């Protein structure tokens, strides 16, 4: 009863590592939650998930009533019939038992430890697996969720108009997160007015969450800046910035979501 995380990981307690979701059915349906769930896992793996091996890492859907059980089983049958995977779907559908919250340091882990979380998601093979099996569906979802400009900038490397974007002259303290994935990318502490009409920063908040690539488009040689977690285009970095870095990260507002300092804790990013 109420085991520790280490005890669960030992494989001796019979518990699963799980997430308990409280949702408002007027905002999102149980069926939509099931669709999201399938797109985050390898449902054909009977021994764990990616680098996490052992019974506690097996996938399962825990239902709280007969309607949830019916919907979960129908969703699983639909996935099997889709031919998306060559192997059998082994995710179990089980009645929900007592749920014991993990220790505090596990709560909102991806927000508290974005660098490690992003590196692990990619290094474990999970990110590539999701992209391989669900890439086209995810792009369709992004088209629905993002504005046309946000989609063109992040997915097709477009550039928004200078001076006609929301953050180029922002002076409120806070952070900027990836509009696609939510990873914290830049901070107003490092923002400056470069006179170019786009948000400019001397450095990223977590360099490990940024990927830089050579960009030879438009008959120029530039360094493109992308979000490592979502592989979204953000902008470019130049070597004409102020001290102490001498760099200017010129970023599209459309690739970012601004979270004011006073709302960071409520949004789960701390203060």
CATH number of the CATH domain containing 102: 3.30.1060.10
Tokens of 142: 């992004």
Give the mean pLDDT of the chain: 93
Q: Which active-site residues does the annotation give?
A: 196, 233, 236, 240, 248, 250
Show the domain range for 165. Answer: 143-263
Cα–Cα dist 72/191, whole Å: 47
CA 196 to chain centre: 30
Q: Do residue 12 and residue 72 come from a single domain?
A: yes
H or E stretch at 72:
helix 66-82
- 209 Cβ neighbours under 8 A, 6+ residues apart: 114, 115, 118, 183, 184, 185, 227, 228, 229
Sign for the pseudo-dihedral over CA of 239, 115, 256, 149? positive
* CB distance 162 to 197 below 8 Å: yes
This prediction has a pTM of: 0.68
Q: Do residue 102 and residue 150 come from a single domain?
A: no
Q: Do residue 167 and residue 97 come from a single domain?
A: no
**In-domain check, residue 80:** yes
Residue 145 CA: distances (Å) to CA of 142, 179, 182, 186, 195: 5, 10, 13, 22, 31
CATH number of domain containing 212: 2.170.150.20
Q: Do residue 101 and residue 198 come from a single domain?
A: no
**In-domain check, residue 271:** no
**In-domain check, residue 129:** no
pLDDT at 22: 95
pLDDT at 252: 99
User: Which residue, of 106, 135, 156, is where some domain finishes?
Assistant: 106
On the CB side of 145, CA atoms within 13 Å amount to: 11
Q: Do residue 257 and residue 210 come from a single domain?
A: yes
Burial of 56 (0-12, 13-18, 19+ CB in 10 A): buried
**In-domain check, residue 127:** no
* CB distance 200 to 249 below 8 Å: yes
**In-domain check, residue 137:** no
Sign for the pseudo-dihedral over CA of 195, 196, 198, 204? negative
**In-domain check, residue 210:** yes
Q: Do residue 148 and residue 254 come from a single domain?
A: yes
pLDDT at 271: 57
**In-domain check, residue 63:** yes
Please name which of 203, 205, 199 lies closest in space to residue 235, comparing C-alpha atoms: 199
Counted domains in the chain: 2
Cα–Cα dist 190/192, whole Å: 7
**In-domain check, residue 185:** yes
Please name which of 145, 166, 167 lies closest in space to residue 154, comparing C-alpha atoms: 145
User: CA-based Rg of the chain, rounded to a whole angstrom?
Assistant: 21
* pLDDT beneath 70: ranges in the chain: 271
Q: Do residue 74 and residue 153 come from a single domain?
A: no
Q: Do residue 159 and residue 93 come from a single domain?
A: no
Mapped to the 3 state alphabet, what secondary structure does 112-169 carry?
A: HCHHHHHHHHHHCCHHHHHHHHHHHHHHHHHHHHCCHHHHHHHHHCCCCCCCCCCCCC
DSSP 3-state assignment of 45? coil
Q: Do residue 150 and residue 67 come from a single domain?
A: no
């Amino acid at each position: 009863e109420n085991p520790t995380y280490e005890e669960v990981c030992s494989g001796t307690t019979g518990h699963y590592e799980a997430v308990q979701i409280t949702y408002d059915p007027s905002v999102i349906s149980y069926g939509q939650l099931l669709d999201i769930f399938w797109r985050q896992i390898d449902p054909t793996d009977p021994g764990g998930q990616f680098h996490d091996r052992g019974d506690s890492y097996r996938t399962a859907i825990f239902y709280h009533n007969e309607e949830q059980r019916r919907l979960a089983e129908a969703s699983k049958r639909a996935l099997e019939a889709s031919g998306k995977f060559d192997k059998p779907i082994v995710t179990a559908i089980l009645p929900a038992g007592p749920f014991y919250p993990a220790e505090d340091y596990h709560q909102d882990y991806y927000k508290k430890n974005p660098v490690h979380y992003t590196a692990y998601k990619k290094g474990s093979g999970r990110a590539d697996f999701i992209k391989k099996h669900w890439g086209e569906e995810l792009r369709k979802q992004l088209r629905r969720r993002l504005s046309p400009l946000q989609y063109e900038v992040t997915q097709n490397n477009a550039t928004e108009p200078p001076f006609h974007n929301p953050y180029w002259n922002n002076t409120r303290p806070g952070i900027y997160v990836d509009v696609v994935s939510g990873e914290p990318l830049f901070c107003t502490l490092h923002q400056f007015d470069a006179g170019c009409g786009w948000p400019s920063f001397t450095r990223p908040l977590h360099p490990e969450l940024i990927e830089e690539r050579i960009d030879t488009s438009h008959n120029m040689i530039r360094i493109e800046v992308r979000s490592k977690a979502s592989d979204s285009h953000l902008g470019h970095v130049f070597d004409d910035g102020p001290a102490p870095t001498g760099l200017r990260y010129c970023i599209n507002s459309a690739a970012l979501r601004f979270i004011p300092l006073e709302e960071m804790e409520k949004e789960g990013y701390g203060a």
